[in-house]
Amino acid sequence: MLLAAAAKLQTALLRKNQLRNQFSADQGLDTITRLCYKMTMKLAQLKEFRVQRRQTQEEASRRLGVSQEYLSMLESGRRRPSPKLAQKLMRMYHLPATVLPVQVSTACADVTDEHLARELASLGYPRYAHLPKTKKLNPAEFLLLALSQRNLEARTAEGLPWVVLRYPDMDFDWLVPQARMKLLQNRLGFTVTLAREVSRNDALRGPERALDESKLAKEDSFCRELSGPERRWLQEHSSDEARHWNLLSDLRADVLRYAAA
């Protein structure tokens, strides 16, 4: 009996040390993630999502590859999931991409047209349905990334209003200040205006007004490097929506009928 008790005690101590190491590592990750990204997932709802899927904590933790104790701490809001774990939670609970954390570092990068097209396909863009999918970004993070490009492929640029109307609940409280910091408020405002006109979603007037208050007077293009002849032509033929945002673009809501798909 003494040997059995000693074995149980040793097992319990080993388990305690494992949990301490896991939680200690996570505390370091938690500090890093607070600096690197904003968590938009409502952790208090994780238990609700799990129950809706009729999963016990033990089943869900096994599928996620974490301990049951750790999942309990996630559900109580005492720990934050890493970006990788947030992706797993999104897939397992069938959550929208708006729950994913937004990472400022990603939103600053120069990327290829192919990468952006695949990201847009992963968000569900109908015109890119044939493209291979990649790891999803939060729609707000994707928009900031796309709008910061110097020479965005035209078909991808046309898909940006679709992102806004498809994910109108994205975190504009994060996106609008980030766009202002990068002097992208006119490009984002134009995107939101087109999405609102296509979808007739008046809820988008809020972020649209917020962006309009800080609208830049400087002329810009809609993510394109323009030649002299292109610039002169667009100065004469830009859409009313683009003119309002001091942009050179002929995109109009009535040519984005696909966006309502």
User: Per-domain residue ranges for the chain?
Assistant: 40-95, 103-260
How many degrees, rounded to 5, is the angle at CA 163 between CA 157 and CA 166? Answer: 150
For residue 14, what pLDDT is reported? 52
Residue 43: per-residue pLDDT = 62
pTM for the predicted model, two decimal places:
0.72
CA–CA dist 87, 24 (Å, integer) = 22
d(CA 215, CA 246): 9
Spatial separation of the C-alpha atoms in residues 142 and 128, rounded to whole Å: 15
Amino acid identity at 232: R
C-beta separation of 96 from 227 below 8 A:
no
What pLDDT tens digit does each residue of the chain (261 aa) get?
545 555 555 555 555 454 444 434 444 334 333 333 344 556 667 788 888 888 888 888 888 888 888 888 888 878 878 778 877 887 887 777 777 777 665 555 678 999 999 999 999 999 999 999 888 889 999 999 999 999 999 999 999 999 999 999 999 999 999 999 999 999 999 999 999 999 999 999 999 999 999 999 999 999 999 999 999 999 999 999 999 999 999 999 988 866 555
Question: Directed axis angle between helix 154-166 and helix 139-147, to 10°?
Answer: 150
Distances from the Cα of 246 to the Cα of 141, 172, 186, angstroms: 23, 21, 7
**Cross-strand pairs, 103:** 37
**Cα end-to-end span (Å), the chain:** 69
| Cβ–Cβ < 8 Å for 144, 182 | yes
Q: Give the CATH number of domain 40-95.
A: 1.10.260.40
Q: Which of 113, 115, 114, 133 is nearest to 123 (CA)?
A: 133
